């Protein structure tokens, strides 16, 4: 199978920088926040746009009920602090290796081992620094591993997205890379970059709408373009082709859309993750001018397969260029760029906490915003979304991830890796 490419007829320069609001942390206790405007706040939309029963983060639990990781904590009383773990050049993403090692991706193109207990830097797992150039929204942007391969998402020297798979040897180290996908990027921003291995052992890939502003390619609502979507493929690095198309992908036959597409309507899905207990799928999609959003699709609903996140008809739950599509998946949480608490400029997701050190945080989705200095959390209590500012003093937050034990790490472009620990 040949790498995918897209036309690059539009070649104008886009502004990458975003305006930042106040960096003052929000001191309010946990408060209930409205979720959507069109649907009741005590429900989550499924992939058909209908309404399910109230969201319950333990409803699809795969762990024994006696497992403390499966018992939702009380976010209202959760108290944490951040502790500097390591100083390292522009950490952008992490992955937990099959042997439990924490692999940290650096935007310059390195993947290194980091000890989550001491912060000591270990081996260099992979070096693609000569194949990419970091800057703006470019560079090494995301990694994932399934124990058989290491999957790397970076922009090449021409600015185009490359997803490369590296088979792992008996020592768990990558061998020679195999190009899985190339995606032409018409502008230097909105490259996405998120990757994660799902509960179905498939590789999910977040792809932005191609950049500039306002989706000039109309990619978000066009499944014949691979931009503006969440992809799902089955890695097959030991076969002639580097991946297979899951048979239930919505356009698996390639007739009405790109066969790799899992859902459409994404603007710039910077980070995606699966709850390791419920298998629910969380998407942090960066907004345009006014709204940032968190999308939640339940594992019991097939993770929103064939769904539509709404862009560019919608920005969050708000009309942008058109009416709400029939198959729209409304965000479970949104916040504006200004005028309320919280507010920000660019969402940085995010994982559901399933560790043991902070029981009151269990089941909450932990995230932040690039323009703010606090760690944020949302949980679902009795069908209502509860928000809490957990505090912190962190500049240029680009992601919240977890180590092998499920304990939380915060990554920043200032070069700091923090741990979130009990207060």
* Residue 308, pLDDT score: 98
More confidently predicted of 404 and 30: 404
Report the distance separating Cα 49 and Cα 304, nearest Å. 10
If residue 298 lies in a helix (H) or strand (E), which one and from where to where? none
Its pTM stands at 0.87
* Residue 301, pLDDT score: 87
Is residue 217 packed enough to be buried (19+ CB in 10 Å), middle (13-18) or exposed (0-12)? buried
The DSSP symbol for 193 reads: -
Residue 173 has pLDDT above 90, yes or no: yes
Q: Which two structure tokens, joined as six digits, stand for 51?
A: 């309404």
Residue 196 has pLDDT above 50, yes or no: yes
Structural domains present in the chain: 31-422 (2.120.10.30)
* Residue 9, pLDDT score: 32
379 DSSP β-pair partners: 386
Please report which confidence band the pLDDT of residue 10 belongs to, taking 50, 70 and 90 as the band edges: very low
**What percent of the chain is modeled with pLDDT above 90?**
82
Report the distance separating Cα 198 and Cα 206, nearest Å. 13
Q: What is Dmax (Cα atoms) for the chain?
A: 57
């Amino acid at each position: 199978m040949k790498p995918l490419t897209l036309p690059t007829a539009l070649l104008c320069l886009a502004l990458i920088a975003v305006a930042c609001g106040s960096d003052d942390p929000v001191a309010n206790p946990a408060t209930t926040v409205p979720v959507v405007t069109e649907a009741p706040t005590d429900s989550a939309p499924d992939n058909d746009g209908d309404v399910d029963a109230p969201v319950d983060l333990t409803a699809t639990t795969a762990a024994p009920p006696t497992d403390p990781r499966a018992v939702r904590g009380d976010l209202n009383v959760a108290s944490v602090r951040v502790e500097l773990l390591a100083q390292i050049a522009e950490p952008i993403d992490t992955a937990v290796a099959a042997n439990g090692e924490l692999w940290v991706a650096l935007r310059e193109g390195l993947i290194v081992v980091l000890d989550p207990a001491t912060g000591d830097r270990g081996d260099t797992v992979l070096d693609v620094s000569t194949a990419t150039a970091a800057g703006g929204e470019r560079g090494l942007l995301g990694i994932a591993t399934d124990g058989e391969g290491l999957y790397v998402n970076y922009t090449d020297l021409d600015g185009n997205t490359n997803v490369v798979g590296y088979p792992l040897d008996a020592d768990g180290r990558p061998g020679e890379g195999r190009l899985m996908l190339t995606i032409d990027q018409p502008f230097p921003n909105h490259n996405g970059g998120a990757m994660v291995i799902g509960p179905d052992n498939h590789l999910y890939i977040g792809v932005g709408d191609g950049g500039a502003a306002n989706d000039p390619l109309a990619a978000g609502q066009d499944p014949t373009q691979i931009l503006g979507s969440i992809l799902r493929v089955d890695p097959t690095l030991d076969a002639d082709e580097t991946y297979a198309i899951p048979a239930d992908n919505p356009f698996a036959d390639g007739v009405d859309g790109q066969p790799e597409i899992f859902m459409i309507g994404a603007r710039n899905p910077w980070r995606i993750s699966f709850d390791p207990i419920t298998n629910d799928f969380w998407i942090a999609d960066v907004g345009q001018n006014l709204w940032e959003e968190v999308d939640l699709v339940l594992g019991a609903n097939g993770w929103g397969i064939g769904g539509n996140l709404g862009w560019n008809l919608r920005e969050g739950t708000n009309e942008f260029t058109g009416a709400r599509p029939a198959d729209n998946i409304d965000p479970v949480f949104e916040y504006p760029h200004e005028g309320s608490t919280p507010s920000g400029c660019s969402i940085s997701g995010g994982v559901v906490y399933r560790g043991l050190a902070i029981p009151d945080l269990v089941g909450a989705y932990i995230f932040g915003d690039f323009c703010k200095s606090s760690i944020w959390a949302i949980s679902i209590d009795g069908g209502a979304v509860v928000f809490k500012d957990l505090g912190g003093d962190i500049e240029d937050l680009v992601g919240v991830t977890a180590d092998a034990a499920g304990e939380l790490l915060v990554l920043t472009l200032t070069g700091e890796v923090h741990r979130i620990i009990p207060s």
